[in-house]
Amino acid sequence: MDFLPFTRPTIDDETIAGVAEVLRSGWITSGPKVKEFEAALSRHCGGRPVRALATGTAALEIGLKLASIGRGDEVITTPLSWVASSNVILQAGASPVFVDVDPMTRNIDLDLIERAITANTRAILPVYLAGLPVDLDRLYWIAGKRGLRVIEDAAQAFGSSWQGTPVGARGDLIAFSFHANKNITTAEGGAIVLPDESYVPLCEKLRLQGVVRFGEDGMDVDVAGVKANLTDVAARIGLGQLLHLDKFTEKRRALARRYFERFDASLGCELPVADFENSNWHMFQVVLPIDVKRGDFIARMREAGIGVGVHYPAIHLFSLYRSLGWHEGQYPHAERIGRAIATLPLFPAMSDADVERVCESSRTIIREMLQ
Ligand SMILES: Cc1ncc(COP(=O)(O)O)c(C=O)c1O
């Protein structure tokens, strides 16, 4: 039986042909395809300005810069995420202030945010783990009341929504990733949704070394930008992917429903929130019972031909963060989930039979491990 990875992109033949066309066109870096991709992303985001970038990380970095976050500022975020979401805060010269997660949603616990706010707090950077957004009404109510900026790490949440409105169509600054394992991909890539047109010139400068051109030969630099433009090759992949967004999301939701029907509840795993309205089901993650060693589970599943991922260990327990003063015991939910969370296969090309195979192998392996 073929190996079943935990994720795999679906790229159609038209997209592959379209990429070949771009490669033959003589213009392969940022050009007309990027503009077309940005226009399509903007339509998805209720007409708001969107700029394509080289990575989701760059979208967060530029988002922090656009919100004027820098030295001495504090940014409230979650310890249960890909490390990019807090590394960018350090890179900005600011300090991440972690707030523990809600053990049900595995996202930042909105109930705990207000008590983490200090005189230095400038922003909240929530992460929508596995594509499940936080309560955006409540998030923006807290931010508005306390005069804080919001940089949404929606890296995993393209295609998700909050009460009928797509993530990205409302709010402050929203960062998406189009990395290969995301719901739509450009191989590597990202985008930032801006609050209004006034942010566009600085955003465009920041993504390309701070350069402004004028006249036939004029050039100036008044801000130290980065190099974070997307290529036309990548944008063409993204345009092909966007055509399938609704179908991909529908399929992911159907597969997630299948997991809920078939995953053996008696094994003692914690399942995700069964949300079929808001989440794009970027991942299907279970928290393993305390007596199941995750590393052994992953190895046994691999022997059974099934890939299992780890998203993610708690950030504050990485050496870098420990060296900055964080330690075990500070965020108990994130720590426990970070030790035991396992990502089971979920991607649009999977079949119901694949889900059944995963559930069957998980049942056999976890039962044996618990004996
Ligand atoms: C939650 C989260 N934040 C940020 C990123 C960074 O995105 P990229 O890998 O495109 O830089 C990712 C990507 O894995 C992510 O999952």
Residue 172 binned pLDDT confidence (cut-offs 50, 70, 90): very high
189 CA to middle of ligand 1, Å?
A: 10
Q: Report the alpha-carbon distance of residue 11 to residue 3 in Å, rounded.
A: 19
Mean pLDDT of 99-119: 98
**Half-sphere exposure for 107 (CA within 13 Å, toward CB):** 25
Split at pLDDT 50, 70, 90, the class of 144 is very high
Per residue in 26-82, pLDDT tens? 999 999 999 999 999 999 999 999 999 999 999 999 999 999 999 999 999 999 999
Count the helices and strands in the chain (H runs, E runs): 12, 13
Report which ligand 1 atom has the smallest distance to the Cα of 181. 14
Other C-beta atoms lying within 10 Å of the C-beta of residue 39: 11
| Average pLDDT taken over every residue of the chain | 98
pLDDT in tens, 175-203: 999 999 999 999 999 999 999 999 999 99
pLDDT for the residue numbered 5: 98
The one-letter code for the residue type at 224 is: A
Q: What is the mean pLDDT of residues 340-358?
A: 98
- Among 127, 156, 192, 283, the mutation site with the greatest number of ligand 1 atoms within 8 A of its Cβ is 156
**b (16+ CB within 10 A) / e for 71-80:** eebbbbbbbb
pLDDT at 12: 98
What is the 177 CA–ligand 1 centroid distance (Å)? 6
Instruction: Measure 178 CA to ligand 1 centroid, in angstroms.
Output: 8
**Ligand 1 close to Cβ of residue 205 (< 6 A):** no
Residue 176 CB less than 6 A away from ligand 1: no
Q: Is the CB of 282 under 6 A from ligand 1?
A: no
pLDDT tens profile 209-246? 999 999 999 999 999 999 999 999 999 999 999 999 99
Nearest residue (CA) to ligand 1, atom 8: 56
Q: Taking Cα atoms as reference points, which of 303, 300, 302, 289 lies closest to residue 365?
A: 300
Cα(10) to centroid(ligand 1), Å: 19
* Helix (H) or strand (E) run with residue 359 in it: helix 352-370
Q: Ligand 1: distance of its center to the CA of 62 in Å?
A: 14
Q: What is the mean pLDDT of residues 87-94?
A: 98
pLDDT at 121: 98
What pLDDT score was predicted for residue 62? 98
User: Nearest 5°: phi and psi at 347?
Assistant: -160, 155
Q: How far apart are CA 370 and CA 269, in angstroms?
A: 12
Q: Is the CB of 55 under 6 A from ligand 1?
A: yes
pLDDT at 1: 79
- Amino acid 45: pLDDT: 98
Residue 141 has pLDDT above 90, yes or no: yes
Catalytic residue among 33, 65, 145, 182: 182
Using one digit for the tens of pLDDT, what is the confidence trace for 244-297? 999 999 999 999 999 999 999 999 999 999 999 999 999 999 999 999 999 999
Contact 82 CB / ligand 1 (< 6 Å): yes
- Residue of 132, 179, 181 to test ligand 1 pocket, by largest number of atoms within 8 Å of CB: 179
Confirm or reject: Cβ of 161 under 6 Å from ligand 1.
no
**CA 290 / ligand 1 centre spacing (Å):** 28
251 is catalytic: no
